[in-house]
Amino acid sequence: MDRSEKGSLAEVKHVVLVLSGKGGVGKSTITAELALALIHAGKKVGILDVDLCGPSIPRMLRVGKPEVHQCDAGWVPVYADAQQQLALMSIGFLLEDSDEAVVWRGPKKTALIGQFVSDVAWGELDVLLVDTPPGTSDEHLAVLENLRKHRVDGAVLVTTPQAVSTGDVRREITFCKKTGVKILGIVENMSGFVCPHCSECSNIFSKGGGEELAKLTGSVFLGSVPLDPLLAASLEEGRDFLQEFPESSTYTAICDIANTLLSSLDA
């Protein structure tokens, strides 16, 4: 077995892309919370953050800016927990200054994504979640190209309820079909607002757009996640929302989505 095989995805059971045609719908939020839910279900999880211009995962999981080390098999991922159940790799770990802008042309982005896929020593993982930027651009094509020699289980698509978002996600569905990526399901994020005082959920935007999109496109609807101030605060501060608020409806929504996804992967 050569270095690229040892240092890449040979021991990763499932690879799942997190996609959306729209920016600001909460792909990184869903990625982070799915990872935490899977860990609480006893799984070993990795997150590959390929949103090169806006890496949010390091902050959301409060890992700061650790040094990335190398071993014989490649780059050693950064672990977000002492038990080493959650492994991470992000350009956020490689920037000298967190405020530094990544002003790169396509070829340089493609080269780094290639390194992330082939040169990170992930080791044994039950699920690797790939957090992507919005759209259907160079980064997405680079990820798929570099993953071709490995099995990609499929993609979770994230949308908000409004038609302007679901319209863009339709294009992402077309992208998946053109590139042969299986759609594992659609998540409707920011579906209602949970009052921090009484916990009642109000539909301040709209509701049901993601579920309707799933019906129209013949996709699985994984579930809805509301706008929850407690979840937002947890992500801002890098705390584990699922551990701290197990009685909340948002906790139930996230865990149900993670369990449905897990059942689909293990089927």
How far CA 87 is from CA of 27, 37, 74, 83, 168, in Å, comes to 18, 14, 14, 10, 30
Ligand-binding annotation for 26, yes or no, is yes
CA distance 101 to 77: 22
Task: Please give the single-letter amino acid code of residue 228.
Answer: D
Ligand-binding annotation for 24, yes or no, is yes
Q: Are strands 201-202 and 183-194 parallel, antiparallel or unpaired?
A: antiparallel
Ligand-binding annotation for 23, yes or no, is yes
Ligand-binding annotation for 195, yes or no, is yes
Ligand-binding annotation for 210, yes or no, is no
Judge contact between 169 and 20, C-beta under 8 A.
yes
Chain-centre distance for alpha carbon 246: 21
* Packed helices 209-217 and 163-179: angle between N→C axes, nearest 10 degrees: 30
How far CA 57 is from CA of 120, 129, 147, 197, in Å, comes to 17, 11, 21, 29
Task: Please give the single-letter amino acid code of residue 221.
Answer: F
Ligand-binding annotation for 198, yes or no, is yes
> Which parts are annotated binding residues for ATP?
21-28
> Which parts are annotated binding residues for [4Fe-4S] cluster?
195, 198
> Which parts are annotated binding residues?
21-28, 195, 198
